[in-house]
Amino acid sequence: MHTKLNDKSLPTVSGLVRAFSIDLRKRSSNIIVPAPLQFDADGTPYSAAFDDIYHSADGGLGQARHVFLGGNGLPERWRGRERFVVVETGFGLGLNFLATWAAWREDAGRSRTLHFVSCELHPFKVEDLATLHARWPELDAFSAELRANWPPLAAGMHRLNLDGGRVTLTLYFGDVRDGLEQTDARADAIYLDGFSPAKNPAMWAAKVFHLLSRRAAPGATLATWSVAGEVREGLRRARFVTEKAPGFGGKREMLRGHLHPDAGREAPPCPPAERRAVVIGAGAAGSAVAERLAARGWTVDVVDALPGPGQGASGNHAGVLRPQPSLDDNRLSRLTRVGAIYGWRHVARAQAAGLPLRAAATGVLHLARDAAQEAKMRATVERLALPAEALRYAEVDEASAIAGWPLARGGWHFSACGWVQPWSLCAANLAAHPENVRLRFSTHVAAIERRGERWHALAADGATIADAPVLILAAGVGTSAFAQAAPTPVWSARGQVSELPAADGSPPRAVVCCGGYVTPAVDGRRCAGASFEVGDHDAAVRLDEQRANLAKLETILPGYTAALDPAALGARVGFRPVSPDRLPLAGALPAVDHAAPPATLASFPRLEGLYVVSGFGARGLTWATLVAETLASRIAGEPSPIERELAEAMDPARFLLRRYREPVTDEDD
């Protein structure tokens, strides 16, 4: 239920943005304009922009059940299956999704899991959804859970885990053509919905039909209320076989169909018959992957050389979980934005479940270091036009009030973000599904080897520590010690964090960043730092780095360090895995160590059943849960939670195409 707006509908963009050479037309699709709450004369939800109603005047729920569920042979077709995937072209009010979820829940023979993937350029605000959903009290429980998990209206994909993880909603906020292009899913059923072809022809374009065909699994079905001739012809050309069927209410006919048996589509990815995995590493990456697989019912052996979870790079007392915006909204920025949204939702679920996770959404301030950066930060806020809870600029007086300390400049404010205790996140992940996770600490894996259909984690004497059809290397800077990971560059970055004594409730009361970071007091201590030295393997605490951390702190909080003696402060040194391009590594390891152009990522052979997740650098807390969900979805053969281009940006085989030789520098802010 969406189409693209013209540039005149965009918010005003100041000359500051133009000064930074941003192509507005190229990036305009990143601005999401919410749908206004409107009704026609008889009270049916209505869009004045398209002069059309959102559902049949004879009843939205009845239409959803008759046209989309009935037209796709549901609930019969999902019975007895491991998973069932629905792809929808227009989310609108979410009524088709809610009706599908309710029918799935009521069916005793339902599939083990339900995946629903949908696109929407003009999503409703959550408060408007509450008004709309009040019309269907029989769906109250479902609609309330949907609204409780409703994401900020930011462009791109959003993964919502509902119904205890049994129902997964993947929403793409943006144009349907872009969404289907970026979706990695194989649809068992397709809901072709939207405003009428006469009102919104872009929704029914040939490209949409062909993209749906490419996303269809063998045997996929399709249903829509429209029987327009151009719709039927467009679907035929895209290799769908359709027929007219009795319509709903006052509409005489609807359309239903299926993918032609000779369409030649690849079968959906099939996970191993035995759902077992070995994860090497119990830090932020390894514990997150283990939790995401265990949530899917997998049995996971977690092996770590240290005596407990999160004792390596994830062992700091407190860290920061927040996005890193940029004026051009590059891949790093988009990954940190959706990573922060998904990561905080995971934190909230874990805390609600009573797991031992220490975290607080105190807000995060990222201060401007000078007037030039201040102008760029203001331009970024205006350019991206994100909801205030996702990104806004706080003036110096407001920022000072948020921090509880007089600051020199204002900056970005992320009100829904804050601090997380990394090792407690690791412990919570590993405790979330105790029936499916087996822990082996103080156990060094010297090598890995594939024997038959299984990967073996081997001790120094060659004995098998654990084995499974799937093995994930999440060993941080130790990843490169395994021969199979040699083509994948993982560098070590030494980081020293200073620990300051602090009374609970003392300023700053929010996380504050500017070239470094400082956290609120957590159990009598606050963290400040940190250094980032690539290739430095010295584990000793250094006084000069204590001084450097205090210098950063003084820049952040003027006058704060006057009474602090760097020699008297505590400190912790860790070694963070970093990739050459600062993006994570997540995916199947390539089976070759070189490639000649014009090779593509899809063309690389892979080591069957062997995956890597690493390269988080200073953003482990922000990326861990989202990257783990992405990898677990790939391993389990499920729809991806992120766009294809972002998944490709994390593919470990990318370095066989792009040769980076020089280390990067990074900052903890």
Structural domain of 525: 359-421+491-574
Residues 587 and 498 reside in one and the same domain: no
How many CB atoms lie under 10 A from the CB of residue 505?
Answer: 9
Residues 101 and 168 reside in one and the same domain: yes
In a domain, 19, yes or no: no
In a domain, 234, yes or no: yes
Residues 163 and 244 reside in one and the same domain: yes
Contact predicate 279/301, CB 8 Å: yes
Residue identified by tokens 């629903």 is 116
The residue from 546, 574, 602 where one domain ends is: 574
Q: How far apart are CA 416 and CA 410, in angstroms?
A: 18
Helix and strand numbers (H, E) in the chain are 18, 31
Q: How far apart are CA 225 and CA 245, in angstroms?
A: 10
Residues 460 and 585 reside in one and the same domain: yes
Contact predicate 389/418, CB 8 Å: no
Q: What are phi and psi of 511, to 5 degrees?
A: -70, 135
How many CB atoms lie under 10 A from the CB of residue 51?
Answer: 13
Helix (H, G, I), strand (E, B) or coil at 346: helix
Q: Quick one: the chain helix, strand, coil %, rounded to 5? A: 35, 25, 45
In a domain, 319, yes or no: no
In a domain, 25, yes or no: no
Sign of torsion over alpha carbons 133, 136, 139, 141: positive
CATH code at position 196: 3.40.50.150
Q: In 3D, which of 581, 579, 582, 585 has the Cα closest to residue 647?
A: 585
Q: In 3D, which of 645, 639, 648 has the Cα closest to residue 170?
A: 639
Residues 300 and 448 reside in one and the same domain: yes
Residues 166 and 305 reside in one and the same domain: no
Residues 385 and 500 reside in one and the same domain: yes
Q: How far apart are CA 399 and CA 367, in angstroms?
A: 9
How many structural domains is the chain composed of? 3
pLDDT along the chain (669 residues), means of 10: 32 31 40 93 90 87 97 98 97 97 98 98 97 96 98 96 97 97 97 94 96 95 96 97 94 95 71 93 98 98 97 95 96 97 97 96 97 97 94 98 97 98 98 98 98 97 98 96 91 96 95 97 95 94 97 97 95 96 95 63 88 96 98 97 97 76 43
Contact predicate 14/376, CB 8 Å: no
Residues 44 and 104 reside in one and the same domain: yes
The residue from 541, 574, 607 where one domain ends is: 574
Alpha-helical segments (H) within 242-394: 284-295, 331-352, 371-384
Residues 499 and 611 reside in one and the same domain: no
In a domain, 517, yes or no: yes
In a domain, 24, yes or no: no
In a domain, 403, yes or no: yes
The separation between CA 491 and the C-alpha centre of its own chain, rounded to angstroms, equals 24
Residues 42 and 129 reside in one and the same domain: yes
Token couple for 548: 């450097």
pLDDT the model gives residue 17: 30
In a domain, 632, yes or no: yes
Residues 466 and 396 reside in one and the same domain: no
CATH code at position 642: 3.50.50.60
CATH code at position 569: 3.30.9.10
Token couple for 535: 């290739």
The residue from 551, 574, 597 where one domain ends is: 574
Q: Degrees (nearest 5) of the Cα angle 583, 589, 594?
A: 90
| Phi and psi based region of residue 59 (left: phi greater than 0; alpha: psi -120 to 50; beta: remaining) | left
Residues 398 and 478 reside in one and the same domain: no
